[in-house]
Structure 1
Amino acid sequence: MATAVKSRRIDVLSTPKQLPPGYREDRRSVYWVDKLPPIPGAEGTTQFVLTDWQDKLCGTKPVNAQWTGDRPTPIWKVSQAAQKAEASQRVVDLAGHKNCHRDYVPDRAVRTKVSDAAQTASCSARIEQLAKEKTFSALPVKESWEFDCYVWDPEISKSAKNARCSDRLDNLAEPKRYHRSFQVARPVMWSVDDSSLKAIASLRIQQLARPKSRSKYETFDPYKVSNGALHARPTPRVDELSAPIPRKVRQKKQTGGGSS
């Protein structure tokens, strides 16, 4: 009797996985339902039921009755009437090219031909004078400034050097005088004269400069207002001056609030 061959671990792992009981293949529909369709089709898919309006909306757009398909070739036969047709005057006008502006001048060529009159023309004396280059005279540079051309001696005529101004110009050239009460600013430090240093205050100034003497039993409150000041009444003139200007007085707005 043959002995049973013991299975190896690799043989157990190589066996395919067994399908569970009640397994069914994936449905061909793109969606998933919890229960089978009520009316399964021939291939097991759901059979949809549409209304007449839904069926009409799902249909293709009808083609126009006058629509003609594309021509099979860009070359087609032209009818005899089209060959013998004559365009109206309006079509002829529209088919004509656009005219240029009356002042339009075409571009000149790069090489232009000079006329014989221009070649033999002679300029006037004024044009020759304007065509000459401007000449400048040498600047009278000072001898001590030979290397600086921006400094030169101003040529002042002898008549200008010996000229005398009028009395009016002489008066205008005088500086403005100070006010008769003008005083020059005093220096920061100045000397005090001997009379001021040796001056002695008079008896009256000494009395005014001495502080008020009070006894040690006298209590003085500088912030206490006297009874006379408390009961004082301003005069009618003071009341008039203290009142605000009438044009700057604004009445308060009274809002009509209802009482509860």
Structure 2
Amino acid sequence: MAATTQGRRLDVLARPKPIPSGMIEDRRSVYWVDKVPPQPKGGTTVFVLTPRQDQLAQTKNVNSNFKGDLLTPIWRVNKAAMSTEASPRVQALAEHKTVHREHKMERSVYTRVTPGARGGEASERLDAMAKPKRCGTYGQITDGDHFFQLWQLPIPVPGPAKYASCTPRVEALAEAKDFNPQYHGARTIQWPVTDPAKKALATLRVQQLARPKSRGGNDDYDPYRVSGAAKLARATPRVLELCEPIPRKIRQKKVFVKE
């Protein structure tokens, strides 16, 4: 019976949606196909403008006092301009800006050594500092030796350094940091089970929850079958209210009626 009802329901859902009686189908083209559009007399479309539009379409007139650019950058100088004399203010403004009194010109790349520096003699201290550092153990660095090869040579430890003892503060700072008293290390993957855990008994409630659901051997259980009570169930008014669409989003479908 359920299969027959389901088959009828599928037949109803498979039917196409009916078209409303007042619906008008959209035109397939923006041009009318049932008749030829009218043509103008002259063959082309003539635009008709209002007087205001015609006035705005005119080009802007040039000012009567406008003078165009000079034909050449060279023009004749009149005699008055040739014989005129500048005022004291113009002459003061025409003078170039003076250099600051503390300004010094850029120094040349090549420094000129003074005669005093050429004949100068270094002091004994400068001679001592200018000498290369002598390493008795390493020996002298020749041109063929590499500086980094000297790191492979043994470095002698002086006698006082062998018998030196550090201070109590240095020993305290050298000690490793202890772990927190409440720190627990990572638990191993395998750990022994305690005797109380082996002898523990589950409570009656735990046993009831651990027991699988019992079904008879002849019980034809179908997990996809909908019960009769679920088919006849009705939603509460509150559920129906929540299922309704929002009023501000409801829009009625427009139906055009052919006159």
Which TM-score applies when normalising by structure 1? 0.34
More RCO (CA 8 Å, sep 6+):
2
What TM-score do you get using the length of structure 2 for normalisation?
Answer: 0.34
Larger Rg: 1
